[in-house]
Amino acid sequence: MVAYERQHDLFNKNDINHSTNNTFKNIHINKKVIEEWQSKIINHQSLMLENGYKNSNQSSLFETASEEPTQIFNPLELTPLSLSFWRRQKSIHEGAAIYFVIDKTINFDKNIILYIGETLSAEKRWKGDHDCKNYLSNYSEALQKEGLTSQLNIRFWLDVPSETKDRRKLEQDLIQTWLPPFNKETRGIWSTPFTSQIN
């Protein structure tokens, strides 16, 4: 439960680069390591795109032919927004949502889903602290040091359950499908270097 409370407040202090305890700054990750890491994730997520991810509200395998077919959901078809979208005077997205933090990698010309989260208030998501903010800052800085370009964006899926329990189940299904490297559940799979903390 604590993890979800922390997850609620992604990107505090109005700036992705803000960090009160970012201990990553002196770590150097060479270009080859970054590109190999990105490539592994792209390979996995590309398989999901090729096969079509079926959302967890999909129909039963045993339903009759007269029922509606299973819908295919592709998060990359959602509208990309700047990570600072919330600064606009007019709110773009409101209410319950699943959101995807994505990087458009220039070196591979592919998208990587870096983080998946859920919220009851999409328009208020950016007003607190979250480790992911530090990871994105570390990631951007590491890429910049090696001359790699990052085009981070966020996309909201609003057609999600309003009930928190159901929305969190959907979020976990998506995390286990896409394996985004900045979610705590999957960091170990990719040996994600940008989440390392140094004492």
- In contact, 76 and 49? CB cutoff 8 Å: yes
Give the long-range contacts of residues 2-6, CB within 8 A, separation 24 or more: 3/184, 4/168, 6/129, 6/130, 6/131
pLDDT at residue 11, rounded to an integer: 40
Partnered with residue 105 across adjacent β-strands are 110
pLDDT at residue 25, rounded to an integer: 55
- In contact, 163 and 51? CB cutoff 8 Å: no
Q: φ, ψ for residue 103 (rounded to 5)?
A: -115, 130
pLDDT at residue 172, rounded to an integer: 95
pLDDT at residue 50, rounded to an integer: 78
Longest pairwise C-alpha distance within the chain: 60
Ordered per-residue pLDDT tens for the chain, 199 residues: 444 434 434 444 444 444 444 455 566 789 999 999 999 999 999 988 877 655 444 434 344 443 443 445 789 999 998 887 766 666 667 789 999 999 998 888 899 999 999 988 876 665 666 677 788 888 999 999 999 988 999 999 999 999 999 999 999 999 999 999 999 999 889 988 887 643 3
Between CA 43 and CA 91 the distance in angstroms is 35
Between CA 169 and CA 4 the distance in angstroms is 12
pLDDT at residue 100, rounded to an integer: 94
pLDDT at residue 193, rounded to an integer: 81
- In contact, 195 and 23? CB cutoff 8 Å: no
Between CA 23 and CA 102 the distance in angstroms is 23
50: how many CB neighbours lie within 10 A of its CB?
Answer: 7
**Through-space distance between the first and last CA atoms of the chain, rounded to whole angstroms:** 26
Between CA 27 and CA 160 the distance in angstroms is 39
pLDDT at residue 150, rounded to an integer: 86
Between CA 12 and CA 15 the distance in angstroms is 7
- In contact, 123 and 99? CB cutoff 8 Å: no
Between CA 102 and CA 131 the distance in angstroms is 16
